[in-house]
Amino acid sequence: MRSEDDRDHQIRQFWRFVVKLLVTVAVAWYLLRKVPLANVRNALGGASPIWIALGFTVQIVIRLVNAWRIRLIAGAQGAPLSFVAILSVLFTSALYGLLLPGSIGGGAATLVKYVGRGATAAAALASMVVNRLLETLTVMSFAAFFWGLAQLQAGAARSAHLATILVIAAPLLLMGAYALLFGRIRLLARVEQWPVFGERRRLTRGLGALLQQCARAGTLRATAAVGVCSLSMLKELLATLAAYCFARSLGIDLPFVAVAWMQSAVGLLVLLPITISGLGVREGTLVLATRTYGVEPATALSWGLVQFASLLGIVLIGGLIEARAWWLAPARST
């Protein structure tokens, strides 16, 4: 029975991957029909290697910041995950997220890696859930704040009132969310007090352990909580800086504020599991978002492709880490 369930799950994952592949090809085909391939090739051919190298360096720094943030969360859960171990998993998960179908990629592969480093399955999964929650809240706030700021700087009269509201409300809502999670209320820490933990309620051990680990993540000390929040915001600012460097490599001279809301919007949209690694979604979003700034579609499309190429660079590093681990495995066994 178990083997049949596993087989059915693998078949579903396979067909999800096929659908994502078909959607990716369809979106890429549509974009290349609208944008001349020769213009894209010319834009990429004139890209500045220095700016690309700077952007890729920032991408690596982003992984360092993210590993530090995850380490703080894991520390509150008592998970024995070192900074180096987490950093290694962040690189290798990018590899599996690109190669493997469906949720097997970034999600399950990351979970397996954390467990292999000594964490329990519940602690590893809870760390991933809390990390994704913080990242989503931060990206949404950044998208709203910087879009409003860009509208105010551009003097857009029609959206001035909405822009003002977003500029004021977005940071306040983000700080409020952080306060609910880690402040005096400690929303995550209250998970253990939910009625589902009562003796009369039946709850599977796996879900119960997961909720308990999420609750532990909410018991961060004030200094650690401030560190987690600060690192979350720093990560998004660095993501904007990387996107800005890639834009400059192609001669795209957009204000940093405009790049910030575009990057945040792309970050939200690529979370939708409809294409492989967001390929097509990223490029199409940038083509549409930069139209009002006078950026040529071919250049905007090239901007997205350069960002995807930087992801492949991260994947390459993950592949080298996996190859090294595989090479050293026989030596350890002997």
Query: What is 112-181 written as a DSSP string?
Result: HHHHHTT--HHHHHHHHHHHHHHHHHHHHHHHHHHHHHHHHHHT-STTHHHHHHHHHHHHHHHHHHHHHH
Confidence of residue 109 (pLDDT cuts 50, 70, 90): low
Distance CA 298, CA 20 (A): 24
User: Model-level pTM?
Assistant: 0.83
Q: Residue for token digits 């894209």?
A: 40
Distance CA 8, CA 23 (A): 23
Q: What is the mean predicted confidence (pLDDT) over 282-299?
A: 90
pLDDT value of residue 130: 79
pLDDT value of residue 119: 66
Q: Residue for token digits 């396979």?
A: 14
- The per-residue pLDDT for range 123-171, each reduced to its tens digit, is 666 777 778 888 889 999 999 999 999 999 888 777 888 999 999 999 9
Confidence of residue 49 (pLDDT cuts 50, 70, 90): very high
Confidence of residue 2 (pLDDT cuts 50, 70, 90): very low
Q: What is the mean predicted confidence (pLDDT) over 198-207?
A: 48
Q: Are 318 and 91 in contact (CB under 8 A)?
A: yes
Q: What is the mean predicted confidence (pLDDT) over 223-230?
A: 87
Confidence of residue 179 (pLDDT cuts 50, 70, 90): confident
Q: What is the mean predicted confidence (pLDDT) over 200-212?
A: 53
Percent of the chain past pLDDT 70, that is, above it, reads 69
Sorted by sequence, the CB contacts under 8 Å of residue 154 that are 6+ apart come out as none
Distance CA 12, CA 29 (A): 26
User: Where are the chain's structural domains?
Assistant: 47-333
Q: Is the pLDDT of residue 114 over 80?
A: no
Q: Are 303 and 246 in contact (CB under 8 A)?
A: yes
Distance CA 186, CA 50 (A): 45
> Which is higher by pLDDT, 5 or 40?
40
pLDDT value of residue 7: 62
In this structure, is the dihedral angle defined by the CA atoms of residues 244, 246, 26 and 108, taken in order, positive or negative?
negative
Q: Are 101 and 16 in contact (CB under 8 A)?
A: yes
Q: Are 49 and 187 in contact (CB under 8 A)?
A: no
Distance CA 239, CA 12 (A): 33
pLDDT value of residue 20: 66
Q: Are 253 and 233 in contact (CB under 8 A)?
A: no
Structure token digits, residue 202: 């039946």
Q: Is the pLDDT of residue 102 over 50?
A: no
Distance CA 137, CA 132 (A): 9
CB neighbour class for 49 (10 Å; exposed up to 12, middle 13-18, buried from 19) = exposed
Average pLDDT value over all residues in the chain: 79
- The per-residue pLDDT for range 239-284, each reduced to its tens digit, is 999 999 999 999 999 999 999 999 999 888 877 766 666 677 888 8
In this structure, is the dihedral angle defined by the CA atoms of residues 54, 55, 57 and 58, taken in order, positive or negative?
positive
Q: Is the pLDDT of residue 204 over 70?
A: no
pLDDT value of residue 203: 46
Q: Is the pLDDT of residue 77 over 60?
A: yes
Structure token digits, residue 151: 């509208």
Q: Are 67 and 90 in contact (CB under 8 A)?
A: yes
Q: Are 46 and 251 in contact (CB under 8 A)?
A: yes
Percent of the chain past pLDDT 90, that is, above it, reads 33
> Which is higher by pLDDT, 24 or 101?
24
Which backbone phi and psi does 204 adopt, to 5 degrees? -60, 150
